[in-house]
Amino acid sequence: MVVGVVALGLLAGCSGGGTPAMAPARVAPDEGGAQGIAPQRDPARQDPAQQDPARQDSARQDSARQDSAGSGQQAPEQPGEVLSGRDLVRTADVDLVSGDVDGVVARVKAAAGERGGFVASESSTGQRGTAVVRVPGERFEDFLGALGGLDGASVERREVRTEDVTEQVVDVQARLTAQRASVERIRALLDRAGSTAEIAQIEGELTRRQAELESLQGRLESLKGRVALSTVTVVVRTEPGKAAPDDGPPGFLDALRGGWDALVVALAFVLAALGAALPFLVVLAIPVTALVALRRRRERGLRAVARGSGQVAGGGRVDPEAGSGASAGDLPEDREGQAAEQAQVPPKE
């Protein structure tokens, strides 16, 4: 019996020599009570992916991605059919034509609210209104059907787009799992750090990996939000107006009306220009008025000097334009001259 067991052990050792991952065999009892040989893994020679939990998670996620990709090849490709197990981002653009823009936009908002959706943004210009609506993915087709049946509106254009983000979601989830494991390992190293330099270095690495982890979490939430809520952009515009009939060349009244409008525009322009220039005119009027007053005063002084020079040259006779109250005979010299002239002139017979 002992010889048989040894022979079986040697045989198992020879067969296990071709596989590096196998360690020396151990003896295990079989069903009949005899001892059999069971292979045992050597921990030193295990696959690194099996030793590292993060790599194991990554390997499992890679397997999940391959399974998802394989199932995607067999998924139905009929348009409008919901693919179970797939992450689909669905968007649509719908153009509506109506004579009541505000009323139709209000009905669009009501239809979205009835289906668990909401209005993300809204704008209106009187003749054109736009509403960006988010509705649950399972009510997407129902909402589009409701838009086609709105009262007072007709669908002019409808465009639906579908994006499969299943592989993106799986990839981000795998990276997120690996990143979480990496952060936990860094935290474990931080607990065992001994020196200040090691603590500073490990904390820097931990901060960087936590930032990457938060980025992956945000990306995953964004993808899930786009899958959960579909986006529908609804544009409502008025019906195109008819061309105005040609009334022929303009008549007298039309020309008069046009001329009056032109006159009003011209007067308004002149008044506006005057109002704009008035502050400048007031500021310029002050120095101009001062200069004019100074010039007039100077001219009066020159005329007074000229009159004084004329009196001296005329022998003391007063210029009648001098403006004084004394006449030519009121001066003493004039009275003496008049008396001499009367004495020399003989009396009349």
- What is the average pLDDT across 137-165? 89
pLDDT tens track for 215-253: 999 999 999 988 999 999 999 998 765 444 455 667 788
Burial class (CB in 10 A: 0-12, 13-18, 19+), 54: middle
For residues 108 and 150, what is the distance between their CA atoms, to the nearest angstrom? Answer: 8
Q: In the predicted model, is pLDDT for residue 174 greater than 90?
A: yes
- What is the average pLDDT across 15-34? 39
| The model scores a pTM over 0.85 | no
Provide the residue ranges of all domains of the chain, joining segments of one domain with +.
2-46, 47-67+86-241
Q: Report CA-CA distances (Å) from 43 to 18, 39, 55.
A: 18, 13, 16
Q: 150: which 2 tokens?
A: 């709105």
Tell the residue number behind the tokens 């653009």, with chain if given.
Answer: 93
pLDDT tens track for 59-92: 544 554 444 444 433 333 333 344 457 889 999 9
In 3D space, the residue among 145, 120, 124 whose CA is nearest the CA of residue 132 turns out to be 120
At residue 54, what is the residue type?
A: A
For the chain, what percent of residues have pLDDT higher than 90? 28
Per-residue confidence band for 130, with pLDDT thresholds at 50, 70 and 90: very high
The predicted pLDDT at position 1 comes to: 41
Half-sphere exposure of 59 (CA within 13 A, CB side): 10
Contact 179, 58 (CB under 8 A): no
Half-sphere exposure of 234 (CA within 13 A, CB side): 36
Per-residue confidence band for 101, with pLDDT thresholds at 50, 70 and 90: confident
Mean predicted lDDT score pLDDT of the chain:
72
Dihedral, 263, 266, 272, 276 alpha carbons, nearest 10:
-150
pLDDT tens track for 252-266: 887 888 889 899 999
Q: In the predicted model, is pLDDT for residue 313 greater than 50?
A: yes
Please report which residue ranges of 75-195 form alpha helices under DSSP H.
Answer: 101-114, 140-148, 166-192
Q: In the predicted model, is pLDDT for residue 345 greater than 80?
A: no
The predicted pLDDT at position 300 comes to: 83
Q: In the predicted model, is pLDDT for residue 203 greater than 70?
A: yes
Per-residue confidence band for 211, with pLDDT thresholds at 50, 70 and 90: very high
Please report which residue ranges of the chain form alpha helices under DSSP H.
Answer: 2-16, 48-51, 53-73, 101-114, 140-148, 166-192, 196-228, 252-313, 332-344
Q: In the predicted model, is pLDDT for residue 304 greater than 90?
A: no
